[in-house]
Structure 1
Amino acid sequence: MLMFKSQTSPYFRRVLLAFICLFIIFWATVSLHPLYFIRDVKSIVTTPSDRLSSPRYAFATILTAEGDVEYPAVEEPYLKAARLLTYQLLHNPRTRNGSHEIPFLVLVTPDVPQTHREILKNDGATIVPVESLGRDWIHPKWGRWSGVLAKLNLWKLEQYEKIAFLDADSVIFRPIDGIFESPETNLRDTLTPKLNTTAQLPEHYMISGIHDPWMEEFMPPVEGDEFYEKNNYMNAGFFVLRPSKTLFDYYVSILDTPDQFDSAYPEQNLLNCAHRTDGPMPWQDLGPGWNFKGGSQSDYEGGLKSIHHKWWRPIGDGYMAARIANAMEEMEIYFQELKGQAEGLS
């Protein structure tokens, strides 16, 4: 620096200083100009909207405080079932989503203890508190189903384009995120109702599920009091939906009109009533292989992806029983190791 000063004239230094000052003024003028900010704001605003244009999917289940009165010795069976799904959908490399951006939502009714919510949150699940939707005229076949109508809150989650719902008492064998790209989960136009209705229906809708062969065989629709079309009964333990507040309000209007459907299977019969295959919003069949009630070794070897079966209850097929036991053991080891690591860091 001393050498620089000694080798330059005062005139040169003044010119250089003036040039630097002009450059600073020019830079400040351009940077503070409104158009500069508009360009910057535009880049900030368009980035999130670009992200919003990508698919927004979620898996979901529901947890209530009810236990299994037929197996009272099993402690918190449904909490453990929800933890198993969390592990299988988010953590197990053999069954988790191909995209880790798909969250697993656990809808919790008001009676679910905070401790249970915290456990599932720490496991990685997204906790969604929901309202109960029971009505005085609803009389479930089993007392533990008193909170299942809260499933309908799924339709209020319009931030998601598609939600795949599984009852908590499900076990996954293979990844199921491919279901979101299935043609059966495409948006459909609502048809013109055959009967006049004052309820508002959405222009488009989507609900796809699987047949319930037991109900179709042993509880066919009663002539003159049908709420579903024969041999077209959907099981509400595994289905894909497009959230819609308009549809949610429509379901509530059905709830507010007593005896519109047989309430022994509350949310399942309501959905079959609202989406009967001869109505304006027929449900779509997902096809085989996604989910069975029970199942056998041949089903598994044929590519079955999941079953609807309570992990704590016996199952007729010994091979499937071993697969369920193995899934539970893997889950327990995984979360136990995580707990040990957390304790080691504290």
Structure 2
Amino acid sequence: MFKNQTFPPYFKRPAVAVVCLCIVFWATISLHPRGFIYNVKPIVLFDDAPQYAFATILTAEGDAEYPDVEEPYLKAARLLTYQLLHNPRTRNGSVEIPLLVLVTPDVPQNHRDILEDDGATIVPVESLGRDWIHPKWGRWSNVLAKLNLWNLEKYDKIAFLDADSVIFRPIEGIFESPQTDVRQTLTSKVNTTSELPEHYMIAGIHDPWMELNMPPVKGQEFYEKNNYMNAGFFVLSPSKPLFDYYVSILDTPDQFDSAYPEQNLLNCAHRTDGSMPWQDLGPGWNLKGGSRFDYEAGLMSIHHKWWRPIGDEFMAERIAEAMEEMRIHLRILEEQGEVQF
């Protein structure tokens, strides 16, 4: 019909404009079901691209030292969800990376629903506790559930952050760090009920407080200075054989000091002089606390409970700023009937 037909210039310009607007409108609506409220997320263009994910964990435990703070860890998990998935200042900017929230059986369904509405991917997991495990604090009774991360083999790499973390800058670059390359296990077998995998990957950061204050004892040599990894921020490559190895350690009582359950298990399994030594990501990705100097030097995130005081006033302001950004975001969505606030 239009094969040889020509259009006058005064018609061409409006027509092109209308077509462009339609394309933009269609792309915006189709890429995100909530339309213009959220920033449109980018698309993974290739099916064979590496599958990455962020992850955290939520249990029903509160903070016994701050009992007046209502649902502190739920709010912390919501802040992490907002920062990793929605905040233009801190979210991933290249490809879509989901946030997996591991939830233990004691987490109420309404808390799961809230996080799912926020955009998180809920992953129910078992607690993995054992009778011989006696955590230093009651709120750590379910932290061994983190080990379920190694069962999620659909992902090539997972970056785990404790829920009480605050993000300052996008952190997806961590997946390309050379320290997160998969490595050959140095010894194929050890004296355990489970065989080690041929390959593994776990990379994290040092815990200076533990390295300074926990002197090594026989069987706990991983406490030595410059050897101890913090389990609040690390990257792993999921592996069912490695999960089975961790369970074999759990099923052999007194293999490690259970005061810090999952952290000491991982340090025991990935001791720096062992078959699968953990790799050091460096301090720029995450710190406990931190200062203005750290922030201005490019610190990506901190491990600090948003409801607790922090010694550095500048960092306290950054945490308050992050919480306020989330409140504004959720208030807008609540007005639209999108989420619970």
Tell me if 1:225 matches 2:236. no
Residue type of the partner of 1:72? P
Alignment correspondent of 2:292:
297
Residue type of the partner of 2:52? Y
Aligned residues: 294
Alignment correspondent of 1:137:
132
Render the CA deviation track for 1:17-57: whole Å, top value 9, x for unaligned: xxxxxxxxxxxxxxxxxxxxxxxxxxxxxxxxx94421100
Conserved 8 A contact 1:163-1:242: yes
Tell me if 1:111 matches 2:125. no
Decide whether aligned partners of structure 1 residues 343 and 203 sit closer, same or farther in structure 2, where only a CA change above 3 A counts: closer
Conserved 8 A contact 1:193-1:279: no
- Highest CA radius of gyration, 1 or 2? 1
Alignment correspondent of 2:237:
242
Identity across the alignment (%): 80
Alignment correspondent of 2:70:
75
Out of 151, 162, 171, the position equivalent to 1:156 is 151
Counterpart CA distance in 1 for 2:109 and 2:202 is 32
Conserved 8 A contact 1:170-1:309: yes
Partner SS, residue 243 of structure 2: helix
Shift of 1:101: 1.4
Conserved 8 A contact 2:54-2:99: yes
Partner SS, residue 80 of structure 2: helix
Shift of 1:227: 4.7
Counterpart CA distance in 1 for 2:189 and 2:297 is 41
Out of 317, 320, 332, the position equivalent to 1:322 is 317
Conserved 8 A contact 2:84-2:99: yes
Decide whether aligned partners of structure 1 residues 194 and 253 sit closer, same or farther in structure 2, where only a CA change above 3 A counts: closer
Alignment correspondent of 1:271:
266
Alignment of 1:93-112 (within 5 A): 93-112=88-107
Partner SS, residue 337 of structure 2: helix
Conserved 8 A contact 2:207-2:229: yes
Counterpart CA distance in 1 for 2:153 and 2:292 is 39
CA RMSD of aligned residues (A): 1.5
Partner SS, residue 202 of structure 1: coil
Which consecutive unaligned segments of at least 5 residues does structure 1 have?
1-49
Aligned structure 1 segments of 4 or more residues deviating by more than 4 angstroms: 193-198
Conserved 8 A contact 2:158-2:238: yes
Decide whether aligned partners of structure 1 residues 174 and 185 sit closer, same or farther in structure 2, where only a CA change above 3 A counts: same
Alignment correspondent of 1:7:
none
Decide whether aligned partners of structure 1 residues 196 and 343 sit closer, same or farther in structure 2, where only a CA change above 3 A counts: closer
Residue type of the partner of 1:263? S
Shift of 1:100: 4.6
Alignment correspondent of 2:199:
204
Shift of 1:196: 4.2
Counterpart CA distance in 1 for 2:94 and 2:220 is 42
Conserved 8 A contact 1:227-1:260: no
